[in-house]
Chains A and B, each alone.
Chain A
Amino acid sequence: HLRKVKKQKVLLMGKSGSGKSSMRSIIFSNYLARDTRRLGATIDIDLSHVKFLGNLTLNLWDCGGQEAFMENYLSQQRAHVFSNVGVLIYVFDIESRDVERDLATYVNIISALVQYSREAKLFVLIHKMDLIQPLTREDVFDNRVAVIRRKTAEAISIVRKLQHHPSSPAAAGQGLPDLDIDMQMFATSIWDQSLYKAWASIIHDLVPNLGVIETQLASLGVAIDADEILLFERTSFLVVSKWTSKEGDRNPYGDRFERMSNILKSWKHTCSKFTGTPRNAEQFSDFEYKMGANFSMFVTKFTTNTYILVCMPPGEARFNSAKLNVAAARPWFKFLDGPVIAPAAQ
């Protein structure tokens, strides 16, 4: 079956200055964290179309967060903004002084979302966590999560009441679907890898043919005797998919996926500074590391839109054959590069 490019409407909302445009610029436009200080406040809505792999386009609506704009989204532009939303990313600035007001706005936004796009996924990012003392970060986050869950439930019950209202046509039907919402929360900062964890989760569910990718990564992993394989999108360096062997599962570093994204992305910046080529250009094609009799790994340009990282047991012969096999496996993943016929599925 022919797969068209899948388009997803992604709303990015939250108070002005909370860090929405900063995150977007770092993940998709190769900004460095410190470059974001130059960003001005977003006026109304900044629309961008981000091509992710060959077959997914994110229509990113970066919604300026100043109060007047927010009111406008909720009133005049309500249907326009909140219809057909695939994902809403709501950003809270952890240092914000006026938490009550932020939460009130949040409730209004969630109500509008649930009203117009009941199926949308919701991601709440508690942002600028770097400004909180490292020792208290976890507590601060947990407290905020509890409050936001309560507020989300509140927003949903508002919509439910509206729908039960006698004058509302929806009330006629019996057994209204439970208005629960698919929601995930993350603590983030542009100054560390937490940003990559959150955004990898956001894009993860949007990638078409994910099942196929996972199956094929697993076959490749077994074939070359790897302990771990990560597949990165080439511009953002977000992890698209991963496979880990039983032994690899014993790795105590649970944050290693976002850590690798962060490391490789900043390595790309380093290279671009050295070569003088643009940051979004391809910077390196092959990176090998053999740590004696401990382990070996390589990070290689894979398909047009991806890089692959392979971590494996040591051994010269094993390493060379793994590299050949990875090169040979490229055609299996060709579908990542464009809206072409998906491989005979699973």
Chain B
Amino acid sequence: VPDPATTPQIKGKPRLLLMGQRRSGKSSISSVVFHKLPPSETLFLESTARIQKDSLNSFMDIQVWDFPGQIDIFDNPNFTFDMDAIFGEIGALIWVIDAQDDYLEAVARLNSTILHLQRGYPHINIEVFIHKVDGLSDDYKLDIQRDVTIRIQDELSDQGVENAPVNFHLTSIYNHSIFEAFSKVIQKLIPRLGQLEAMLTNLCRTCRFEKAYLFDVNTKIYIATDSTPEDMASYEICSDYVDVIIDFTEVYGSWPRSPQWRARLEQPPWNQSLEDQVACEWAESGLVLSDAQRPIMLREVDRFLALVAIMKEGSYDKMPQINMNVDVVVKGLTEFFDITKPKEGGRVQQQKILQPGKGR
């Protein structure tokens, strides 16, 4: 059992700041990732003049602040921003660059932002989203990434800054890349991530899983995976699996059945409450792919998290044993998050996430 006293904790709520030029896609990103807006409907988003603050209903209390592109917080003639209030509790600064547009000005502003931050807040992770890369060829994407990286590194080293924590991600709201990028950003903010990964790695070994992910169900961000190499294809299928389950849940599980329905199901020959008729009180799901009969499984962990794993061929027969192992790991995960989560006035009743009114 980990000792909570020795593990680093984030003070307060980690905050993600979204910055970049106007029309670079910041509002679209937060609407798609955090509010499940269909990407095609971002065309109707209006440009906002104020800072938009969102609190995430997620496994960690995360805040997302969306800054309008025209505001320059470091050099604003009308208003002096309280830098500590903005950057004091920050988790990461996400800088969005529109890859389909001329990005020189965006890069210049990013450079000056990094230099400002290096003075007062050098520990802040700077995550550059090279965005709207849908429709660009793979070669072209990499060219842009290389170009942006060089422009930033050159400028920083000219100014005598080395090893600034700057990372690059190629993203689009039209595919999984934006969720993947957010997963990477958020994972850096999780205390004791290594321990979480070790639990999943262990599970994969004992159950002969190919790959396992722990998902934040609301955002489709994965907060941990086992130690096998990154694999975009596995992430995509597991993330879509979560989506399908959320949809099934909404359509068939989000409205109350009638008392007569329940009464009939609990009378003879069953003679048991519905709760006693089920094997698992949490949501669970399994699927068999026709190709090589590879199963995929999903198991709800707590109100925010679900475990999704791709199994090896032919493991369907061993399901009872796998389920027992999964039970153990799920229990471990629950304890892990009970410790990590700051308790606010008494234990919050554990509640299921895959329940009423969770739209896509």
A binding-site residues for B, Cβ under 8 Å: 34, 130, 133-134, 191-192, 227-228, 247, 250-253, 256, 259-260, 263, 266-267, 270-271, 273-277, 281-295, 297, 311, 313-318
Contact = CB atoms under 8 A, between A and B. Distances in A.
- Which of A192, A266, A270 has its CB near the most chain B CB atoms (within 10 A)? A270
A291 B249 contact: yes
Given A251-B252, A315-B277, A290 B284 contact: yes
12 contacts: A191-B40, A251-B252, A256-B251, A263-B248, A267-B244, A274-B233, A283-B289, A287-B285, A294-B253, A295-B252, A297-B252, A313-B261
A291 B355 CA distance: 9
A297 B245 CA distance: 11
Contact of B247 (A263, A271, A316): A263
Nearest to A276: B291
A226 to B, nearest CB: 11
Contacts of A313: 257, 261, 265, 274
B257 A247 contact: yes
B352 interface: yes
Given A284-B287, A286-B288, A290-B284, A316 B278 contact: yes
Contacts of B82: none
A266 B176 CA distance: 14
Contact of A191 (B38, B251, B275): B38
Given A274-B236, A284-B287, A288-B287, A293 B281 contact: yes
A251 B251 contact: yes
Contacts of B240: 266-267, 270
A311 B261 CA distance: 14
B337 interface: no
A64 B317 CA distance: 52
Contact of A293 (B251, B278, B284): B278
Interface in B226-275: 233-234, 236-237, 240, 244-245, 247-253, 255, 257-258, 261, 265, 270, 274-275
A294 to B, nearest CB: 5
Given A281-B290, A315-B278, 10 more contacts: A227-B252, A263-B244, A267-B244, A276-B291, A283-B290, A284-B287, A287-B287, A291-B248, A291-B354, A316-B277
Contacts of B284: 289-290
B283 interface: yes
A105 to B, nearest CB: 28
B279 interface: yes
Contact of A259 (B237, B247, B355): B247
B274 to A, nearest CB: 5
B174 to A, nearest CB: 7
B253 A259 contact: no
| A interface secondary structure, majority | mixed
A289 B248 contact: yes
A64 B248 CA distance: 38
B279 to A, nearest CB: 5
A273 B245 CA distance: 19
Given A247-B261, A250-B258, A270-B236, A295 B174 contact: no
B290 A285 contact: yes
A318 B280 contact: no
B4 interface: no
Contacts of A191: 38, 40
Contacts of A282: 290
A315 B265 contact: yes
B105 interface: no
A286 B258 CA distance: 29
A274 B234 CA distance: 7
B44 interface: yes
A90 to B, nearest CB: 24
A192 B38 contact: yes
A317 B277 contact: yes
The 5 closest A-B CB pairs, nearest first, are: A315-B277, A275-B291, A289-B285, A270-B240, A274-B237
Contacts of A273: 233, 236-237
Nearest to B356: A294
A291 B253 CA distance: 8
Contacts of B286: 286-288
Contacts of B102: none
A192 B37 CA distance: 13
A247 B251 contact: no
Interface string B322-360: 000000000000000000000000000000101100000
A142 B247 CA distance: 29
B41 interface: yes
Nearest to A269: B240
B40 A277 contact: no
Contacts of A253: 250-251, 255
Indicate the member of A130, A274, A292, A295 with the most B CB atoms within 10 Å.
A292
B89 to A, nearest CB: 36
Interface in B49-107: none
A317 B277 CA distance: 8
Contacts of B279: 290, 316
